[in-house]
Structure 1
Amino acid sequence: MSIWNEIKASYREGNILTKLIYVNVGLFVVIKLLQLMLLLFGAGSTFANVVVSWLSVPSNPLSLLLRPWTLLTYMFLHYDFFHLLFNVLYLYWFGRLFVDLIDGGKLLTIYILGGIGGALVFLLAFNFLPAFYPGGGGSILLGASASVMAILFAVARVNPNFVVYVFLIGPVKLKYLALVAFLIDLVSIPGMANAGGHLAHIGGALVGLYYGWKLSEGKIKGNYFDRLASQVGGLFRKRSHMQVTYRRPLSDMEYNAQKIRRQKELDRILEKIKNSGYDSLSKEEKETLFKASKEN
């Protein structure tokens, strides 16, 4: 099998986290190859820069009206290698936690919602805060950072005391890791070097915090963008009449995370019964309670 076929197979068979990483890396490679080709043929990198600007969120509202798709495309776009590297690493680490501790079926949803939240805070700040030139003076926003912050804060809100091991520091609870990340962005805004990016991070963090809060209360059942992506992907998937079921063994981390999720859901249902009575439960909640009673 060729390398290209291996990459396609890896993308096709990978989960949504794998696909998000591939899209971020793939778009970066395409932009850089385009820039290289133009440079070698003496055309400079002007066209590549135009492509980047047409995929990034502009701070000017009038420009945004002409390029509304940038609210979605910017969160997959990177121009600097180290910007891409750290965002992909953070996406992998926090995305794995989200998949293991919450629900992999909602990862794309929080990724996109966090990105949109970051873009909105960026636009509001650059058009209404006196510290910034009206319209941001032609500033643009790009990168997955706001989406990654949303993922981190959603996990930290649902499982605040979950311990992760940070290099050179040791065990740290997720709530403290999220708090430090938020404070770093907050104190970095006055530097103005990347104020728009730090503001977008804060927007993503707030979306993640709200999303995690609603998840904890059991008020979010849907995974809108994930279902849409699955349906669109199904249009291009080759149908097979043979059904094969394969389930890999759970790792200790995955088993414990699954156990924590079940217990949290059970506690929420019992609390609901206490406050509103058994009849207030939905059909799914009654089934969950019945299964738990059989396991015990």
Structure 2
Amino acid sequence: MYLLFANFIYNHMLAELVNFVKVNFRRPNNGLMQLILIHVLVFCILVVSKAICVLLGYEIYYQRIYQYLILPASWKIFLQQPWSILTYFWIHEQFFSIIWNAFFLHAFGHLIVSIWHSRILKYIYILGGIAAGVFFLLLYNLAPGLKGYMGWLVGPAGSLYAVMAAAAIALPSFYFNLLFIGRIKIKHIATALLLLTCFELASHQSVAIAHLSGAMVGYMCVQYIRKFIHFRSYLSYFLNIVRRKKKFKITYESTSKATSVKITKTADKEPAEIDAIIDKIAASGYESLTEQEKKQLFRAGK
């Protein structure tokens, strides 16, 4: 009977779960859901591993593995597990923390995906986590009052603050409808959270440096993206001017006596449409163009 029950769970529940994960990781421009799924999968694996280790009496081994995945404040310990700067921000300690962080990531992350691409969201998220870890290590190893302190950094707070800051800078006038509060702009939410983080840092909660460094990465990423978009639009505009020249249509007519050549000039392309497309790229990014506009821009650059 137990075998039948286990077979039912595997064939129905686990099979559907595996298929759901595969579909979401294969789907293009689905980085937001992929980030959330990674967090959920890591949390489930750690919970199941801990339960098994506790039942078998090997909880100490789970604690050892867990410490290998989170980021230590000690520089000496970090050198023994340098991979922890890439693993610590995927880990959650409590169930309600992963629920809140998934909601937080979805609320701000979908704004970034809506104006750029989910790949940009993943870059910001991972860079925010790495930067938070680096600043955490620097603070605890260089600040005189914290030298020798044994602490650990775990959780995606730095990554989440990077996403929040990027969304607030990119869409400052966007607003959320909050319960009991009403409409509030995203820039006001970000400002309030950053001020609270500064108060935490002043209250000697030094882990707040991870939040601030993540927000700084979000700001820098948005500025870089904007400059890159403007540079690309200006470059396209310049190349369009350089390459914009009169085209010639040549037809050959063969006769018994000689070969004559007819040369017909074609009209220049309308530059106003190209300028409008370039302005659209500068304002909303290349992904905002329609297929017809992309083809028109490509033909103009030939």
TM-score by length of 2: 0.69
Corresponding position: 1:16 with 2:31: yes
Deviations 1:74-126 (A, max 9, x none): 11011222222221221121111221133212111111100011111111111
In structure 2, the partner of 1:228 is none
Paired residue secondary structure (1:2): helix
User: Aligned equivalents of 2:230 and 2:164: distance in 1?
Assistant: 17
Larger Rg: 2
Q: Distance in 2 between matches of 1:20 and 1:180?
A: 25
Q: Return 5+ residue gaps in structure 2 as ranges.
A: 1-10, 25-29, 232-277, 286-292
Partner of 1:92: 106
Distance 1:264 1:213, change over 3 A: farther
Which one of 71, 81, 90 corresponds to residue 67 of structure 1? 81
Tell me what 2:124 maps to: 110
- Cα separation, 2, equivalents of 1:220 and 1:35: 50
Amino acid at match of 2:281: E
| Aligned with residue 81 of structure 1, among 83, 95, 101 | 95
CA distance in 2: counterparts of 1:52 and 1:67, whole angstroms: 12
Matched to 1:64, the amino acid is F
Q: Does 1:36 align with 2:51?
A: yes
| Counterpart for residue 251 of structure 2 | none
How large is the Cα RMSD of the aligned pairs? 2.8
Structure-2 residue corresponding to 1:195: 206
> Higher strand share goes to which structure?
2
CA deviations 1:175-204 (Å, max 9, x no partner) are 111111111111122444x532x2111110
* Letter aligned with residue 209 of structure 1: Y
Distance verdict in 2 for CA 1:289–1:34, change over 3 Å: closer
Query: Which of 159, 165, 173 is the matching residue for 1:161?
Result: 173
Q: What is the CA deviation profile of residues 11-33 of structure 1, one whole-angstrom value per residue up to 9, with x for unaligned ones?
A: 22222211211111111111121
- Report the secondary structure of 1:131's partner residue: coil
Are the structure 2 counterparts of residues 177 and 290 from structure 1 closer, same or farther at C-alpha, using a change threshold of 3 Å? farther
Change (3 A) 1:220 1:201: farther
Distance 2:206 2:295 in 1: 48
Residue 275 of structure 2 corresponds to residue 265 of structure 1:
no
Counterpart of 1:83 in structure 2: which amino acid?
Answer: S
Q: How many residues align?
A: 232
Partner residue in 1 for 2:217: 207
- State the one-letter code of the partner of 1:164: F
- 1:224 maps to what in 2? none
Aligned partners of 1:87, 1:263: CA distance in 2, in Å? 36
The aligned counterpart of 1:141 is 153
Q: How many angstroms apart in 1 are the aligned matches of 2:99 and 2:206?
A: 20
CA pair 267-37 structure 1, distance change in 2 beyond 3 A? closer
- Distance (Å, rounded) in 2 between the aligned partners of 1:112 and 1:289: 33
Q: Tell me the amino acid that sits aligned with residue 33 of structure 1.
A: V
Matched letter for residue 36 of structure 1: A
- Unmatched 5+ stretches in structure 1: 222-261, 270-286
Query: TM-score under structure 1 normalisation?
Result: 0.70
Whether contact under 8 Å (1:101, 1:155) holds in the other structure is no
Write the distance in 1 (CA, Å) between the matches of 2:189 and 2:54: 42
**RCO higher in structure (CA 8 A, sep ≥6):** 1
CA distance in 1, matches of 2:159, 2:85: 12
- Please give the alpha-carbon distance, in whole angstroms, between the structure 1 residues aligned to 2:38 and 2:88: 12
Look up the SS of the partner of 2:183 in the other structure: strand
For 1:206-285, list aligned pairs within 5 A. 206-218=216-228, 265-267=281-283
Structure 2 residue aligned with 1:185: 197
Q: Could you tell me how far 1:130 is from its partner in structure 2?
A: 2.7
The whole-number CA distance in structure 2 between the counterparts of 1:115 and 1:31 is 20
Where 1:164 maps in the other structure, the secondary structure is strand
> Secondary structure of the residue that 1:217 maps to in structure 2?
helix
Asked if the contact 1:217/1:268 (under 8 Å) is kept, the reply is no
State whether residues 157 and 212 of structure 1, in contact with CA within 8 Å, keep that contact through their aligned partners in structure 2: yes
